[in-house]
Amino acid sequence: MFQLENCTAMITGASSGLGSEFARQLGARARRLVLVARRGDRLLAIGAELEAQHPGLEVSTYAADLTRVVERDQLLNWLAAKSLKPNLLVNNAGVGDYGDFGEAEWQRVDALLQLNMVALTHLTHALLPGLRAAGGAAIINLSSLASLLPIPDFAAYAASKAYVTSLSESLRHELRADQVNVVALCPGPVRTEFGERARRGDTGKLDPPGGKLIYAEAGRVVGQALEAAESNRARVFPSLPVFLVACAIEALPAPLLRFILGHRRRYDAEQP
């Protein structure tokens, strides 16, 4: 049975947004944190802050660009050399790309696919033997409400999150006998840096269905994800509006859903 108390947690994308919130909430309960992100200076600052706040907590940091397989391999070798064996894996690292798919730079799309799908799958596969051997472990995969929708102007992102949700559901069944809980965290928009990074340059505006009603605070999203990991829930829609939107999406006939999406306000590169 997995418990958060005294766990060893590895968090990707831990330098900001939901990743840093996972680190802060787990800092009060974990024995050791392994924080991974591109921005090593921010990881060191977060690690120092958490160790000062929580005597006895051990924080290890590793700077890596997880879109690159060579850096993922180096991370895994570093974990082995340090004898770091997480029993909680938080696959939080991810990126968006908002705008017309045909006008996207391929390098940007490729980085999205590598980070949102390939890196998540690679790290999960590599760490799975240790998670299985832990006698109680959990994986939290950051998906999205967008995983339920083929969203115009967010096409590659929504498709990548559909993969994450599907993979999480499959692994949940495969790992049940090994007491490894797998959770797909499916928030709507969250007030983090993600939205700004998903924009292309200084133009384009994110227009999530439901607008401000489905925004959630990072603390609430992370808190519900951690509760789900302990209680072995399959999916988390971390607010009542997001849960109701998810139920409506799954209940709608496909032709009606296509009609609604077809009349959704499109990306406009001229918007401020």
Q: Where in the sequence numbering do the catalytic residues fall?
A: 157
In this structure, how many other beta carbons lie within 10 angstroms of the beta carbon of residue 26? 25
Nearest to 206 by CA among 218, 217, 194: 194
Please state, in angstroms and rounded to a whole number, the distance separating the CA atoms of residues 238 and 125: 27
How far, rounded to the nearest angstrom, does the alpha carbon of residue 220 sit from its chain's CA centroid?
14
Nearest alpha-carbon partner for 90 in 155, 173, 27? 27
DSSP-assigned letter for residue 143 = -
What tokens does 97 get?
């790309």
How far is residue 145's CA from residue 157's CA, in Å, rounded to a whole number? 11
Beta partners for residue 35, in sequence order: 11, 61
Amino acid identity of residue 59, one-letter, is V
- CA-atom Rg of the chain in angstroms: 18
